[in-house]
Chains A and B, each alone.
Chain A
Amino acid sequence: DIVMTQSPDSLAVSLGERATINCKSSQSVLSTSNNKNFLAWYQQKPGQPPKALIYWASTRESGVPERFSGSGSGTDFTLTISSLQAEDVAVYYCQQYYTTPTFGGGTKVQI
């Protein structure tokens, strides 16, 4: 199985500041057949199910604010929240779907 490692485990960011979450996979999730990275990001607020934010490493889901962006390729990926809002307090997970799906351990974002 592909192991997903997120860092940091938690971070505190001031309102309006940038938050950066890293995700590393134990092997490449870049497909040579379609040149896409099989990597998604999810947001989970307390007491709620996860919500998809980004897929193909950098494609935002419909309705997701532009302040959320994903980048990276191969084994190293980043989720960036460009200007943190109060409603962004949550745990964020990366996930690979290149093989049997696996998730990172999560990053808790606080203010």
Chain B
Amino acid sequence: EVQLLESGGSLVQPGGSLRLSCAASGFAFSTYAMNWVRQAPGKGLEWVSAISDDGNSPYYIDSVRGRFIISRDNSRNTLYLQMNSLRAEDTAVYYCARRKIHFDWWGQGTLVTVSS
């Protein structure tokens, strides 16, 4: 069975850093592009970042470019999101999602709260 398990979310002060992880199992991880999508409390979905199946091509929404870094380790079936210079508006549940065509499988999410 396909599983995506996010971890690493927590309470962090503005300007701080956090690294999220997404452990994948039940499918050929190295053949899928992977994504991070976030959802602020009570709000809708916002795509944040994507990375190609081989890890060579990262993509970002403008509001996080230069602050967040997406990466993956195909030998460990794990996706990462390094989040730096965090702002209050980054507060959200962060989901990892796999993509072949659309986002066909999502993890349960991990909550990031940026507050002093």
Which A residues are closer than 8 A to B by beta carbons? 40, 42, 44, 48-52, 55-56, 61, 93, 95, 97, 100-106
Complexed CA–CA distance, A55 and B99 (Å)? 12
Complexed CA–CA distance, A103 and B47 (Å)? 8
Task: List residues of chain B with CB within 8 A of the CB of A51.
Answer: 106
From known contacts A49-B107, A50-B106, infer whether A55 and B47 are also in contact, taking CB-CB under 8 Å.
Answer: no
Complexed CA–CA distance, A50 and B95 (Å)? 9
B27 part of interface (Cβ distance < 8 Å): no
- The number of inter-chain residue pairs (CB within 8 angstroms) is 51
Complexed CA–CA distance, A61 and B100 (Å)? 13
Complexed CA–CA distance, A101 and B45 (Å)? 10
Is A103's CB under 8 angstroms from B102's CB?
A: no
From known contacts A100-B59, A100-B61, infer whether A52 and B102 are also in contact, taking CB-CB under 8 Å.
Answer: yes
B101 part of interface (Cβ distance < 8 Å): yes
Given contacts A48-B108, A50-B95, A100-B47, 17 further A-B contacts (CB under 8 A): A42-B45, A44-B45, A49-B107, A50-B37, A50-B45, A50-B103, A50-B106, A52-B103, A52-B106, A93-B44, A95-B103, A97-B99, A97-B102, A101-B103, A103-B45, A104-B44, A105-B44
From known contacts A40-B102, A40-B103, A95-B102, infer whether A49 and B44 are also in contact, taking CB-CB under 8 Å.
Answer: no
Residue of A nearest to B35 (CB): A101
B104 part of interface (Cβ distance < 8 Å): yes
B94-115 vs A, CB cutoff 8 Å, 1 = contact: the mask equals 0100010111111111000000
Task: List residues of chain B with CB within 8 A of the CB of A40.
Answer: 102-103
Complexed CA–CA distance, A101 and B50 (Å)? 10
Complexed CA–CA distance, A95 and B45 (Å)? 9
Is B101's CB under 8 angstroms from A55's CB?
A: yes
